[in-house]
Amino acid sequence: MRPAPSAAPSAAPSAAPAADTGPTRQREVLIELVTLHARVLQRMPVVQGLLVAGLALVFIDKVTAPVFASWAAFALGVEALRAVVATRVLRTLDSIDPTRVHRGFVLMAACAGAADGLAAVLFLPRLEVIDQAWLGVVLFAIPAAGVAVSMSSRYILGAFALAIIVPATVTWSMLHPEHRSVIPLGLLYSGLLILVAAESERLLMRAVLIRRERDRVVRDLERSNADVRAAQMRAEDAAQARARVLAAASHDLRQPLHALSIYSAILAANPSAATLREVGENIDQIVRSLGHLLGGLLDLSRLSTGYLTPERRLFALDAECARICAELRSLAEAKGLSLRTDLPPTQLCGDQMMVGRIARNLIDNAIKYTDRGEVSVSLSRIDDHAVLAVADTGKGIEPHEQQRIFEEFYQIDNPGRDRSRGVGLGLALVQRMSELIGATVSLASEPGRGSCFTVTIPDAAPEGGATSTSIATTPVPMPAGTRIYVVDDEQDILASTSTLLTMWGARVDTASDASAAVSLYERFGPPALLIADLRLGGHEHGTALALRLRATWGEFPVLITTGETSSEALRETSAAGFPLMHKPITAERLREMIGRALVPAA
């Protein structure tokens, strides 16, 4: 029963158009076919039993009982064997090789047909002409029924039909030489049956394709339903987070403002010098913490609106961490903590500012939440990731709080929201910035024993192949007399920026709106650098103005400043490729950005 290895492709149905005959589809059709055929084969012994019984009633006396009994045993045995094999196939459907099973079914169909064909060889010579005709009709009818049994396999049908028709017609023509034409007629009849089977094979293929398509549509629908549900949940989460942030922010803003109004009433009452000093110090403290809160909110807003694109530059992560540790060391020492560092040289390609902010927040927290022992900051490398670990021997964090501390404004143990103990935005920013640069943050902590925050930062591919640290960290000196135009509708900003740039040796001209800026170009030509605010009061924003001036005066470097965190103008600025500076801008940052902007022109 073992089929010839080379027969695989030819035994498979191939009625579908070329485009529809992918191997998977072919296999699926074949599995469908052998399954249907196997189910019918399980009933075939009963059908064959009825045929044998019918033939016995008519012919048993005429062909003698032993001959009939031998034939009947053979015919029923073959059908029984087919039923057993079919049952086994149906039990192991998941693991069968459908091509092999199909070949086996073809072979067994030939045997089953041959059993019926044998009836012609054995019985016809022993019968009268009228009985021969009866038997002939029965034998011709059996292959037609085989179309249904074969379940659209022209190979099964062909094997079955030919195994009956060939011996039957050959025997007939030997008994009746004048009827030799019965052989070609029998073959023609078999051919027609095979064509009918081929047609059903095509129908089966189409049915399978339709089912596949239906399954795919259902799967797609389920997937898009899941996407919609996920998006809905994300939107609900975001709305809840926004409401939480707004509530906490308005509370945290209202308290210091309330305190400030009380202090202003005290100041108005002409207090003593000692009270004045105390009030001054408190006001300073309040303004500082307000600054922290606003800075944190601004960062959060920038991170949420997606306008912050991480930079990809090579920098020394060890030097960045060492600088932060040096700045925070006095804080640690004031609390009697030792700040240990293990910072082997670690070059990283990524956003230095964000990585630095992440490190600073973690180290600052470690010092803040540790009363005795030490804080250690270490760096290591795993493949193309840098790993920053900040460990402390502080109070630790309960397991159920370890997730929540990354939420905005979530603080443990600060129900009175004492602002001197932070505002609860540090870890939320660490989390958001990490997500933005593709880093992961993990926390291991045991209450009473300490915590260890580990940040795994991937090495990003350098932008434009830049591999030098010098551009990122060292501002290019500004040549004396560099002509800079500053456009801003805020007079204070124009005046202060102009003073600072002049101090650095630049020749500065200012304009408070678009038309004044155009006049500068008409009088002096294009500058070495244009610094424009995004919102200019009129209809035109800074980026649109810079693009218009460039269209007239050719290329010149542009820096855009803004206090906005989300707007169409910001999107246009990103699209134009102009460097964007978010206010408040420190002098160092301004100097660094000017240095970078002047590099191509230098």
Q: What mask, x for binding ligand ADP by CB under 6 A, covers residues 384 to 423?
A: --------x-xx-x-------x----xxxxx-------xx
Q: Rounded to the nearest whole angstrom, what is the least distance from the CB of residue 283 to ligand ADP in the complex?
A: 21
Helix, coil or strand: residue 249 = helix
Cβ-based nearer residue to ligand ADP, 315 or 453: 453
Q: Rounded to the nearest whole angstrom, what is the least distance from the CB of residue 369 to ligand ADP in the complex?
A: 3
Taking CB under 6 A as the rule, does residue 360 contact ligand ADP?
Answer: no
Helix, coil or strand: residue 46 = helix
Cβ-based nearer residue to ligand ADP, 142 or 300: 300
Cβ atoms of 210 and 204 closer than 8 Å = no
How many of the chain's residues bind ligand ADP (CB under 6 A)? 22
What residues between 505 and 524 interact with ligand ADP by CB under 6 A? none
Cβ-based nearer residue to ligand ADP, 376 or 451: 451
Distances (CA, A) of 555 to 483, 535, 544, 601: 15, 22, 14, 10
Three-state SS string across 575-588, please?
Answer: HHCCCEEECCCCHH
Question: How far apart, in whole angstroms, are the C-alpha atoms of residue 538 and residue 487?
Answer: 12
Helix axes 65-91, 44-63, angle to 10 degrees: 170
Cβ-based nearer residue to ligand ADP, 236 or 327: 327
Question: How far apart, in whole angstroms, are the C-alpha atoms of residue 561 and residue 131?
Answer: 107
Of 71-79, 247-255, 334-342, 425-433, the window that binds ligand ADP (rule: CB under 6 A) is 425-433
Q: Rounded to the nearest whole angstrom, what is the least distance from the CB of residue 331 to ligand ADP in the complex?
A: 13
Q: Which helix (H) or strand (E) holds 386?
A: strand 385-392
What residues between 296 and 335 interact with ligand ADP by CB under 6 A? none
Question: How far apart, in whole angstroms, are the C-alpha atoms of residue 75 and residue 66?
Answer: 14
Cβ-based nearer residue to ligand ADP, 143 or 394: 394
When binding is defined by CB under 6 A, the residue of 256, 424, 475, 557 that contacts ligand ADP is: 424
Burial of 39 (0-12, 13-18, 19+ CB in 10 A): middle
Report the residue closest to ligand ADP, judged by CB: 422
Neighbours of 414 (CB within 10 A): 14
Cβ-based nearer residue to ligand ADP, 34 or 363: 363
What residues between 426 and 465 interact with ligand ADP by CB under 6 A? 426-428, 451
Cβ atoms of 531 and 559 closer than 8 Å = yes
Of 27-35, 184-192, 341-349, 361-369, the window that binds ligand ADP (rule: CB under 6 A) is 361-369
Q: Rounded to the nearest whole angstrom, what is the least distance from the CB of residue 371 to ligand ADP in the complex?
A: 11
Of 16-24, 322-330, 424-432, 455-463, the window that binds ligand ADP (rule: CB under 6 A) is 424-432
Q: What mask, x for binding ligand ADP by CB under 6 A, covers residues 366 to 385?
A: x--x----------------
Q: Which residues of 59-78 are buried (b: 16+ CB within 10 A; e: fewer)?
A: beeebeeeebeebbeebbeb
Q: Which residues of 479-503 are buried (b: 16+ CB within 10 A; e: fewer)?
A: eeebbbbbbbbeeebbeebbeebee
When binding is defined by CB under 6 A, the residue of 365, 497, 510, 561 that contacts ligand ADP is: 365
Residues lying near ligand ADP in the complex (CB under 6 A) are found at 361, 365-366, 369, 392, 394-395, 397, 405, 410-414, 422-428, 451
